[in-house]
Amino acid sequence: MRLHIAYKNYSSWSLRPWIAMKVAGIEFEENLLPFAHGDELAKLGARLGVPAKVPMLEVDGRVLWESLAILEYLAERYPERGLWPADAGLRALARCAAAEMHSGFTALRTNCPMNCRASKQMTPSAAVEADLRRLAELWARFEAADKPTGDFLCGAFSNVDAMYAPVMWRVRGYGLAVSPAFARWAEAVYALPAMREWEAAAQAESWTMPEYDAVG
C-alpha cells in the first residue's frame, strides 16, 4: 500500500490519512511529491487518470483519491482498528463532522494555511472567528455525546480526529483562541507519537513556500 503525500510542513490534506494510518498501525510506504517543486505529482495524476492532488493511495492495483474516501476505505478494510467508533449514533456524528471539515471551514483553511513551522500571533478575520465559533460548537456537541472515555472526539482516536488534525496546527501556528475542550483535544493530538514524527519531518524539510510563510 503506497500513500502519496506532499510537504509535511504545508500539506494539510496529506496529514489526514497519514496520521490515521500511523495511529491505527496500518503499514504503508510513503511517497513524498512536493508539487510546487517539480512535476512528479502532475505526471502521476496523468498516468493514473486522477486529479494531480495529494493524498492518493495506491492499493491492490487501484488508486484512491480524496482524503475522506481514503479514510472510509481504510475503515472498511481494517474494521478491527476502530477508525470509526463502534456506536452507530456516535459514528454518524463523527461522519457529519468529518464531512463538514471536508467541505467547510473555508475561511480557516484559506486564511490560516497549515504551516507546522509557524509560530505567529494572528488577529483572525470575522470569517475566521466564525469558523472558530463553529469549532467550539462542534466540540461541545462531542463533549455532550454519549461516548467512551478518552482524549479524542469519540474517546479513542478515529477518522474524525484525522480530518481535524491539521486544525491543531492552524490554531497552534497562528495563536488562535479556541474553546477549552478544543484546546484539550489539540494537546492530545499534538502529543501523539505519530504527530511528533510528522513534526520532526516537517522541521527537517528544506522546501519552502514563501506565500504560506508570509501569512500571519
Q: Which of 53, 95, 147, 172 binds ligand GSH (CB under 6 A)?
A: 53
Single residue of 26, 28, 30, 35 touching ligand GSH by CB under 6 A: 35
Is there binding between residue 11 and ligand GSH (CB under 6 A)?
yes
What is the strand order of the sheet 62-65 is part of? 29-32, 2-5, 56-59, 62-65
The DSSP output letter for 29 is: E
Q: Are 74 and 62 in contact (CB under 8 A)?
A: no
Pattern 54-83, binding to ligand GSH, x per CB under 6 A?
xx----------xxx---------------
Residue 45 sits in the site that holds ligand GSH (CB under 6 A): no
Whose Cβ is closer to ligand GSH: residue 104's or residue 180's? Answer: 104
The stretches of the chain forming alpha helices (DSSP H) are 12-24, 40-48, 67-77, 88-103, 106-111, 126-144, 159-173, 180-191, 193-204, 210-213
What phi, psi does 190 have (nearest 5°)? -65, -35
Pick the closer one to ligand GSH by CB: 65 or 190: 65
In whole angstroms, the minimum distance from the beta carbon of 52 to ligand GSH comes to 6
Give the residues lining the site for ligand GSH (CB under 6 A). 6, 11-14, 35, 53-55, 66-68, 102
